[in-house]
Amino acid sequence: MRRLGVKAAIDERLLTAYLLALLAGLIMVYSASSILAESRFGSQWFFFRQQALWAVLSLIAIWVISRVDLRRLAVYSAPGLLFTLLLLSLVFLMPTRNGSHRWLFLGPLTFQPSELFKFLTILYLAFSLSNSKRNLANWKQLLFPYAPIIGLGLMLILLEPDLGTVIVVFLAVLGMFFLAGARLFHLALAVVPPAAIGSLLVFVAGYKRARIDDYLSAVSDPLSGSYQIKQAVLTFGSGGLFGTGLGDGRQKLFFLPYPHTDFILATIGEELGFLGLMAVLGALFYLLWRGWRIALHQPDRFGFLLAAGMTWSLFVNIAVNVGVVTSLLPVTGLALPFLSYGGSSLLMSSAAVGVLINLSRRVVR
């Protein structure tokens, strides 16, 4: 007889995969950033200390989220999204970093509201789409109330600019509508306006045009692409099967841009080699597999949509980052969950794992 494991134990395999990814991320952030940190801040531990602090906050977040009533929490997801829209507006009052307005500066820490928006969007959609009164066959119920609030958030994120997060959130939303039973025809129509706006911004207004041109050049010959793409290819290639050794990578010596953030996967490939790279990616995809299993064994529609949405969002984020670093996609400036330096990404990706751990107690056995 199938029964609901109300007080079942958490998914320890999921937690183990997460902890391994978190540990690997801390080690690689230090290895990739120590020389840069010494040069800029006079301490090789600068970036590591920041990441370690966020790692502690992430573990606390997992502990809290794994114990709350997610359905009650989801009731406040819509007001939370409205508050996040305010935060997304406030970033334009903050100083720029690398030409972008993505961060709120909170003393020594910085935070990206777009990461919170991504998390709350999934929570909100899971709660709303699980409502039995919602008719997904009616395109009007797909358009409202979702298009205004999510569309405004995506527009603000695009203006920061942060195209990578826009892509992840948009694909996550489409995936959740698909899992909830929306018609493929309606989903296909939903792609048309963003595609048209994106084409106008890139090919008419010139938004990120250089990155698209570099990507098209790199399709035929990776070494003819942008400096970032060329250095990423060289970094991967120098690792070979076993790598140069942890801490012995040469590309982080001011050759590879952002070796501890967007392109940390290339650093892993150089220092740990192909085998080490596959081990790290294996831990990430094992985590995703456990998340999908949790979704499939949920006792209700809300649990399924929430677990599947969190897992799908993490997958899209990982896939886009891997695609960028391997020159399969244009450069977007997107962090690799659990591994890249960046507190906001680590905290909210960990919060998604906290949700999955919470839902693992509710699986039907």
The string of pLDDT tens digits covering residues 127-162 is 999 987 777 777 777 778 888 999 999 999 988 888
Calculated CA dihedral for residues 154, 155, 161, 166, nearest 10 degrees:
20
Residues 357, 363, 365: CA angle, nearest 5 degrees: 140
Whose tokens are 């199938």? That residue is 2
Question: CB of 259 within 8 A of CB of 252?
Answer: yes
Whose tokens are 């892993």? That residue is 268
pLDDT at 7 over 70: no
Span 212-239, average pLDDT: 72
Q: d(Cα 209, Cα 118) in Å, to the nearest integer?
A: 25
Question: CB of 344 within 8 A of CB of 111?
Answer: yes
Q: Tell me how far CA of residue 10 lies from CA of 102, 246, 331, 359, 360, in angstroms.
A: 35, 33, 37, 8, 5
pLDDT at 275 over 60: yes
pLDDT at 212: 67
Span 187-191, average pLDDT: 80
Task: Output the DSSP codes for 351-365.
Answer: HHHHHHHHHHTT-B-
Span 274-292, average pLDDT: 95
Residues 306, 311, 316: CA angle, nearest 5 degrees: 125
pLDDT at 170 over 80: yes
Average pLDDT value for the chain:
87
Q: Indicate the pLDDT class of residue 222, thresholds 50, 70 and 90.
A: low
pLDDT at 238 over 60: yes
Span 284-288, average pLDDT: 96
pLDDT at 2: 42
So where are the chain's domains? 12-360
Span 334-357, average pLDDT: 95
Whose tokens are 């949509």? That residue is 305
Q: Indicate the pLDDT class of residue 203, thresholds 50, 70 and 90.
A: low
> In this structure, how many other beta carbons lie within 10 angstroms of the beta carbon of residue 155?
12
Question: CB of 303 within 8 A of CB of 359?
Answer: yes
Closest CA to 136 of 180, 82, 72: 180
pLDDT at 4 over 50: no
pLDDT at 239: 86
